[in-house]
Amino acid sequence: MQDIHVIVAGAAGEGIQTIGDLLVRLAAAHGYAVFSWKEYESRIRGGQNRYAVRIGMEPVNAPLSEADILLALNKGALAKYEKLLKDNGIIISPEKDNRDRFLSIPFADIAKHEIGQTIYANTLAIGALVSALGMDLEITKGVVKNVFSKKGEDMIDKNIQALVEGFNRAGRECRDRCPWNLPLREDRYYVLTANEAIPMAAAYAGCRFISAYPMTPSTGIITFLAKEKDRLGVFVEQAEDEIAAVNMAIGASYAGARAMTATSGGGFALMVEGISLAGMTETPLVVVLAQRPGPATGLPTRTAQGDLLFAVNAGHGEFPKMVLAPSDPLDAFYKTVMAFNLADQYQTPVILLTDQFLADSHFSFKDFEPWDVTPKFHWAGTGNHNEYKRYRLTESGISPRLYPGQSKHLVCADSDEHNEYGHITEDLEKMAPAMAKKRMLKLDMLKKSVHPPEEVATKGADFILVSWGSTRGSVLEAISLMRGTGVKAGMIHFTELWPLPKYEFPRGKALYIVENNASGQLSRLLRSQYNISSRGFVHRFDGLPLTAGYIRRVYHEHNG
């Protein structure tokens, strides 16, 4: 079975989120791997948006371009997305059209006259999709009952009635035009987004405080933790702005709690002074930077990889930091625990780079057992200090860290340059350079904690796609497609980007850098650190994620 790609399209406010989320749950309940991503405009109502769902036998966590089924809820959505439909694809829409590929079902009218209210139009649409896809009606009823279980029996009954009506209408319309069949399978997959994995991992890693100001696409992290605060034990504070948010997190960390904040590019710009404060005071801090296109507000609901160099160079002055860019929600879980552990160990900021695509997309995993990564704490023992020096000069650059009230010792912190006790100093001859060297020693130590990039099919490859972060799934599918046509492609993928590890690129291979940005930020970083050059680039910077088809097409454009 080839993967089936469904696009649900409509205006904001028409319920495409509800339909898409339910379709994801239904595919998983039937035993199929599912991947979804969203494209939506920055408005409360109107515009045209899509919720794309990929259904298959095995996980392929990457977006597709062409669709098998387009559920278009209005005329504008039909006009915008019909060009993505395959030649043998079908359209389900309330619009009237005499073409053979068209299933015209007036959801709102049926809901009003047959069920009693137009609010059931979306459940009608789900019924039509289930019928067209060849899913099991009884399993679907069970999922729908569960979704509406808290709405009362009357609401449940009417949604089931709407579901069955949509199912039957599509069944009569489909005839031989709907060849798909998705019967129940015994397989089961874990399905989740990065904005679910990161807060779960933070709580598991020992995080007990998050402060943030809502900013798409990071908002899901704080809302998840707020919703689950009693179960996960994380105190959640919505700050008045991003400056307050980062300083609250630093204060909580200084006081002894593992703490984090989350934002996007514009908010991170406001946090940068706080990043330097954490660097000077050597206070552990985890910051999630969820990327979206800029500059300024840019395309606030779209995706990009435009903040890599911003994150690497964030902060005035010189101090060590770490930048991680997970590739999927499972990796995001690992990287989040890693971020807290290393921030604690090296007493430094760690920035976790995600993006709108990674934050909002549903990924499927056969196994999701990330518990082999464990929280590690690095407090100094309270009884080992006759004379406590918070910033004691050490060979590693790591000083003993206590929190106020942990022992009888005074714990000082100061944003000015300071001596070993934490008191302000103007000793330019000895102490100031010694402290600067001490902090930078930790950068060398951090390098030993960084893993090399992932290599896939690099031996015998004619060329290698070099990528980072959330593009991994698309690049993997691209090299598979290319190898299927006789083009020997490989992949080198980075998820730990600063400091970069010691690494030798395969010799004699043509490198193509793949990025969701215009300027080639990974390319510039690799050139500065490894002195390598690339044969070509695959850049996308229109706010949409990279797909395997896009990567393959751009490569062939460069190489005839």
pLDDT digits (tens, 9 = 90+) for 50-68: 999 999 999 999 999 999 9
| Cβ atoms 137, 164 nearer than 8 A | yes
Please give the average per-residue pLDDT across 280-296, as a whole number.
Answer: 98
Note the pLDDT tens digit of each residue in 441-474. 999 999 999 999 999 999 999 999 999 999 999 9
Sorting pLDDT into bands at 50, 70 and 90, what band is 503?
very high
- pLDDT > 80? residue 371: no
**In angstroms, rounded to a whole number, what is the distance separating the alpha carbons of residues 189 and 53?**
15
Q: Are 302 and 39 spatial neighbours (Cβ–Cβ below 8 Å)?
A: yes
DSSP codes joined into one string, 251-287? HHHHTT-EEEEEE-HHHHHHHHHHHHHHHHHT--EEE
CB 286 within 8 A of CB 350: yes
The helix/strand count (H/E) of the chain reads as: 18, 20
Model pLDDT, residue 251: 98
The per-residue pLDDT for range 245-267, each reduced to its tens digit, is 999 999 999 999 999 999 999 99
| DSSP bridge partners of 499 | none
Residue 325 reports pLDDT greater than 70? yes
Whole-angstrom distance, CA of residue 171 vs CA of residue 103 = 10
Sign of the Cα torsion 531, 535, 540, 546 reads negative
Are the CB atoms for 34 and 191 separated by under 8 Å?
A: yes
With 0.75 as the threshold, say if the pTM is over it: yes
Between the alpha carbon of residue 330 and those of residues 165, 289, 327, the distances in Å are 38, 18, 8
**For residues 322 and 227, what is the distance between their CA atoms, to the nearest angstrom?**
29
| Over residues 2-22, mean pLDDT | 95
- Residue 98, pLDDT > 90, answer no
AA letter at 225: L
Average pLDDT, the chain: 95
Domains of the chain, start order: 4-174 (3.40.920.10), 192-368 (3.40.50.970), 383-449 (no CATH), 454-559 (3.40.50.920)
The CA-atom distances, in angstroms, between 253 and each of 120, 248, 260, 360, 413 are: 48, 9, 8, 28, 12
Nearest by Cα to 27 from 363, 477, 360, 328:
363
Tokens found for residue 170: 């599509």
Which of 444, 464, 468, 558 shows the shortest CA–CA distance to 510? 464
Per-residue pLDDT for 118 more than 70? yes
Q: Kind of pairing, strands 363-365 and 190-192?
A: antiparallel
Q: Which of 327, 298, 279 is nearest to 493 (CA)?
A: 327
pLDDT tens for each residue of 373-407: 899 999 887 666 678 999 999 999 999 999 999 88
The predicted structure's pLDDT at residue 214: 97
pLDDT for res 448: 92
pLDDT score of 383: 66
Percentage of the chain with pLDDT > 70?
99
Within 10 A of 497 (CB to CB), how many other CB atoms are there? 26
What are the beta bridge partners of residue 470? none
Backbone angles phi, psi at 495, to 5 degrees: -125, -5
Do 285 and 278 meet the contact criterion of CB atoms below 8 Å apart?
Answer: yes
* 3 state DSSP class of 412: coil
Q: Is the predicted pLDDT of residue 560 greater than 70, yes or no?
A: no
The model's confidence at residue 43, banded by pLDDT at 50, 70 and 90, is confident
- What's the pLDDT at 380? 84
Angstrom distance (rounded) from CA 217 to CA 32: 27
In this prediction, residue 293 carries a pLDDT of 97
Average pLDDT on 135-155 reads: 94
Residue 384: its pLDDT value, please? 66
CB 328 within 8 A of CB 541: no
Phi, psi of 173 (to 5 degrees): -75, -35
Q: What is the pLDDT of residues 506-557, one digit of tens each?
A: 998 999 999 999 999 999 999 999 999 899 999 999 999 999 999 999 998 8
DSSP string for residues in 35-70: EEEEE--SSSSEEEEEEEEEEESS---S--SSEEEE
- Residue labelled with tokens 């495409």: 16
Q: Please, are residues 139 and 126 in contact by the beta-carbon 8 Å criterion?
A: no
Tell me how far apart the alpha carbons of residues 308 and 306 are, in angstroms, rounded to a whole number. 6
